[in-house]
Amino acid sequence: MKTYILFPENLEVEKHSLLSSDDNFIKATNGISLDKLDFIESKDKLIYLLPSTLVSSHTFVQNDKLSHSNNLANFISEVDTDLANDVSENSFFIFDKNGFVINKNMLDEINSHLSKLKCKSIVIPDYFINQTSDLDTITQLNDKFIFAYKDGTGSSIEPNQIEYYLTVIRNVIPDFNPTVYGPSEDIKKLFRESEFHSEINYKNFVEKNFDKLPNFFKFKPSLKNISAKLDITKNEIFAFVASCIIIFSTPLVLINNNNKTAKDYEDATFSIFKKIDNNIKRVVAPRNQIDEILKQLPNVNTEVNSRTLPVKNLDFLVSMGDKYLESVNLDIDQNEADILFSNMPEAQFKIIKGLSENFDIAILNEDVVMLDNKVSGEIKLGFK
């Protein structure tokens, strides 16, 4: 896992300098824009240092008996009279014993870019590089002097304003004696009794517990950002969407097929009953109704010449499924018939088979295929 530290080179936050744990944060890569960071991997961490000049920090004691939103409202009411612009143009945060005010549009732009990255992102004021609760510090970074105070607040100024700013600070904090980080020799003259460090220890900074520090990053959800954060490829997204479509559409397809099958069965059954008895208006109990109708049929063996019987009985059965027939080959001498049919509803096929015995017709051979509740194939019938 790599850790990157990113900070803007100017207050327009267009170009940035990037430090990496690859070389222990020694050499900075300059002139990087926020849309050129897609090389950072999901296992990495990016810490964005927001210039203190762009962050207004305050001490604020939260009321433990109030909710976070109520405490935030109280903080806004405390600082709104000091704002240079409208309240709606700012984002407000409270954390521990401090409150922060940041330009909303600028922060949204930063968060929008960082949301596109795969890695974990942290946006924090730059003075937290060397901020501690037991001493004040001054850090020289990016041609500015960054002040971090024990009370959790901070600020930054230009080098040519350092003496005037120190005069103001010492009027408020007479014993101000900060620890100084940076190579400037001029500032040593101003703090002869202070502790000096020629370099910033970035390693100590990145090893801090950032859960106990303010983080202004807010993820901007979108399909592209979520897929990047989860490290999902486009093919995996398409597969997921297709799976969802299949999962939610399959029940509808099955229900539609079941309804169609039931309708085919109902139509086929009614068609057969109409062939048997033209007075049938409705089929309610097929088994009982067919038994009653068959009892009313004449004894075909005694009332019809035995030579013409097979043809008439066959004609009756064929007429009940004639729309599905491909061909009928009748052998009178052998009292046999070959019937070829296609896509006959299964329900209708079973009914015809059941009725054949009542007309002294035997199924000698059956070569059929059933698919999607449809029957296709050939049967050989024999007449008794």
- The CA distances from residue 118 to 219, 297, 309, in Å, are 11, 81, 83
Per-residue confidence band for 251, with pLDDT thresholds at 50, 70 and 90 = confident
> CB under 8 Å to 162, separation ≥6 — which residues?
145, 186, 187, 190
**How confident is the model over 227-256, as a mean pLDDT?**
72
| DSSP 8-state assignment for residue 250 | H
Q: What is the DSSP string of 67-129?
A: -HHHHHHHHHHHHGGG-SS-GGGEEEEEETTEEEEEEHHHHHHHHHHHTTSSSEEEEEEGGGG
Per-residue confidence band for 67, with pLDDT thresholds at 50, 70 and 90 = very high
Per-residue confidence band for 3, with pLDDT thresholds at 50, 70 and 90 = very high
In sequence order, which ranges of 231-327 are alpha helices (DSSP H)? 234-276, 286-296, 300-303, 309-319
Question: The tokens 């890695």 sit on which residue?
Answer: 119
Gyration radius (Cα) of the chain, Å = 44
- Here the tokens at position 319 are 């007429």
Q: What is the pLDDT of residue 122?
A: 97
- Give backbone dihedrals phi and psi of 144, rounded to 5 degrees, phi first: -140, 160
**How confident is the model over 303-330, as a mean pLDDT?**
60
Tell me the per-residue pLDDT of 319-337, one tens digit each, with 9 for 90 and over.
556 678 888 787 777 878 8
Q: What is the pLDDT of residue 249?
A: 81
Q: How far apart are CA 125 and CA 107, in angstroms?
A: 12
pLDDT for 111 beyond 80? yes
Q: What is the pLDDT of residue 292?
A: 58
Query: Among the listed ranges 40-44, 74-78, 189-193, which one has the minimum average pLDDT value?
Result: 189-193
pLDDT for 304 beyond 60? no
Q: Among 42, 205, 37, which residue's Cα sits nearest to residue 132?
A: 205
Tell me the per-residue pLDDT of 120-139, one tens digit each, with 9 for 90 and over.
999 999 999 999 999 999 99
- Here the tokens at position 304 are 């019809």
> CB under 8 Å to 287, separation ≥6 — which residues?
none
Percentage of residues in the chain with pLDDT exceeding 90? Answer: 45
Question: How crowded is residue 91: how many other Cβ atoms within 10 Å of its Cβ?
Answer: 16
Query: Are the C-beta atoms of residues 377 and 363 closer than 8 Å to each other?
Result: no
Query: Among the listed ranges 86-100, 102-116, 178-192, 229-243, which one has the minimum average pLDDT value?
Result: 229-243
| DSSP 8-state assignment for residue 242 | H
Q: 74: exposed, middle or buried (C-beta count within 10 Å: 0-12, 13-18, 19+)?
A: middle
| DSSP 8-state assignment for residue 322 | G
Find residue 374's DSSP bridge partners.
Answer: 345, 371
Q: What is the pLDDT of residue 154?
A: 96
Tell me the per-residue pLDDT of 167-206, one tens digit each, with 9 for 90 and over.
999 898 888 999 999 887 778 888 878 899 988 999 999 9
Q: What is the average pLDDT value for the chain, to the nearest integer?
A: 83
Query: Are the C-beta atoms of residues 53 and 146 closer than 8 Å to each other?
Result: no
Selected residue with higher pLDDT from 284 and 127 = 127
**How confident is the model over 34-57, as a mean pLDDT?**
94
Query: Among the listed ranges 32-46, 58-72, 148-162, 277-291, which one has the minimum average pLDDT value?
Result: 277-291
Q: What is the pLDDT of residue 329?
A: 82
pLDDT for 235 beyond 70? no
